[in-house]
Amino acid sequence: MLARLYYRTWLKPVLLKIALVSIVLGLSLYIGRSVIHPGNIRTLLGLTLIFLTLALSIVKPNASIVFVMMYLPLLGLIRRILIPIAGWGSFDPLVIVAPSVALLTGSYWFYRLLFLREPILNDTPVFKLVRLMVLIDLLEVINPRQGSPMVGISAIIFYVVPLFWMVTARTVVTEKAMKTIIHIVFVMGIIAALYGLKQTYFGFYPFEKEWISIVKITSLHVGNLYRALSTTDNPQGYAEFLAEAICVSWLYVLRGNPLVKIIGLAGTSVIGWALFMESARGPLILAAAAIAVMTVMYGKTTKSKVIFGIIVGAVLAVVILKIFHMHASNNALVQHQIAGITGKNSTLSGHISTALSGIWRGAKSVIGYGLGSTTTAASKFSSSNTGAEVDFSNMFLSDGLAGGIVYLVLMVRMLILGIRAALTRSLVGLFGIGVLVATFEQWVNGELYVVATIVWITIGYIDRISARSGAGASQVSDSSS
């Protein structure tokens, strides 16, 4: 028996060393082949970033999340700039760099919960609903109605990963990291806005034109012009990210010292102009609403809130009147924006009809059409994409009646959480309500990589801090003001 025990004790480290050597040799061989074949550079770069980011997330999880927040706004540009060298494919490892962090940290939390039987500290209604949504989403991965099994598996990155970001934020994100993330959103928002304005006024680089000809996204076209993409993956993601970034710049105006207020006003002007020239009416209107809500919430007393509300309402009224009386422009992007805001060419009724139709179809199906049925994964691996443009409608279509109802309840609870946190007038609390309003109807749209990540990290952090004390969201003020 002693000999057998010694043999096992000796064998384990030997096998481990053999495994590590094999992995190193295999990776070395793959790297060598990739260098010889430039078409593999995209895969090589993606895998390298995945391994480095995962290693960083194990040692310094907050640092890995901060890196992700700098990486995601640039993801589209990085992917497109590689086209002349490595071409373009339907699968890109660069896309799963950020989700790998959320899946690792979130899975580890669930492992500790389910297998190590660790208790859930400071549980909340929002966190319970998130866990229920994760369960429903995972069950819908195997829904046969979506066709190929790859449709459901691929959709994990779009619907499950955002929820795992909430789990991650609740588990590891610190106050310092959360504040850093907020400031990064502003800096990256300025960079994205300036690059987007360059595309709007001076055109696209050759590699960007090549990408446009490959993907053929119809929403890019407005008259004889193209919407800007900036550094993000698509025009919608760009507009929604600007809406999040303008919330930070306006917070600088509300809460900063004189110098910070100037920076905030300059940032609001640049980001606001880029958002207007993107010719996306929804994000522009919701960004304005977010600014109004944050301004009112910043008031210390009910009287000051009312005064702020009147001032904001008057300013918005002046802006709307100005838009109604703007002179005709030869720029198709400006024409499209003005026509939508003034109601001359509004698509609002069509969006509402599509959303309600999606809810009805999903509810009638009872079990839904599968997690990936409303994502681009359905277009790649199955027959068609049945998406309905807004997240709560997509949840009914993907997850059926139960999933849709759970998500609607979750939305309400998130708004309540955001309002309570905003009443503390803290940086994180005001940012939370601003982001929820600015990206409303797109919270769990995982195809908007950076947008959904910001929403769920913010909500996860606020939910954890709010639950730490019986005073609820007042704790947000104590730790984040």
Mean pLDDT (whole number) for 312-330: 73
Q: What is the phi-psi region of residue 239: left when phi exceeds 0, alpha when psi lies from -120 to 50, beta otherwise?
A: alpha
Same domain? For 54 and 195 the reply is no
Mean pLDDT (whole number) for 231-245: 92
Residues, the chain: 481
Alpha-carbon span 334 to 347, nearest angstrom = 16
14 falls within a domain: no
Same domain? For 42 and 64 the reply is no
447 falls within a domain: yes
> Is the pLDDT assigned to residue 354 strictly greater than 60?
yes
HEC profile for 229-257?
Answer: CCCCCCHHHHHHHHHHHHHHHHHHHHHCC
277 falls within a domain: yes
**Which candidate, 423, 420, 400, 430, places its Cα nearest to that of 463?**
420
Same domain? For 146 and 206 the reply is yes
Same domain? For 52 and 73 the reply is no
Quick one: pLDDT at residue 386? Answer: 66
6 falls within a domain: no
Same domain? For 48 and 165 the reply is no
Alpha-carbon span 203 to 198, nearest angstrom = 7
Name which of 60-69, 95-104, 229-238, 374-383 the model is least confident about: 374-383
Same domain? For 51 and 107 the reply is no
Most confident among 41-45, 48-52, 455-459 (mean pLDDT): 455-459
Same domain? For 167 and 299 the reply is yes
Q: Give me the percent of the chain exceeding a pLDDT of 70.
A: 83
What SS3 state is found at 456? Answer: helix
User: What are the pLDDT digits (tens) for 386-407?
Assistant: 667 788 888 998 888 999 999 9
Same domain? For 102 and 49 the reply is no
Print the domain residue range for 34.
29-59
Same domain? For 48 and 76 the reply is no
pTM for the complete prediction? 0.88
Mean pLDDT (whole number) for 132-157: 87
In the chain, how many domains are there? 2
89 falls within a domain: no
Quick one: pLDDT at residue 85? Answer: 86
Contact 228, 235 (CB under 8 A): yes
Most confident among 58-72, 84-98, 336-350 (mean pLDDT): 58-72
**Which candidate, 204, 229, 231, 232, places its Cα nearest to that of 219?**
229
Same domain? For 100 and 36 the reply is no
Mean pLDDT (whole number) for 470-478: 47
Same domain? For 151 and 219 the reply is yes
172 falls within a domain: yes
20 falls within a domain: no
16 falls within a domain: no
Same domain? For 41 and 177 the reply is no
pLDDT band at 476 (very low <50, low <70, confident <90, very high): low
Mean pLDDT (whole number) for 235-259: 93
> Is the pLDDT assigned to residue 457 strictly greater than 50?
yes
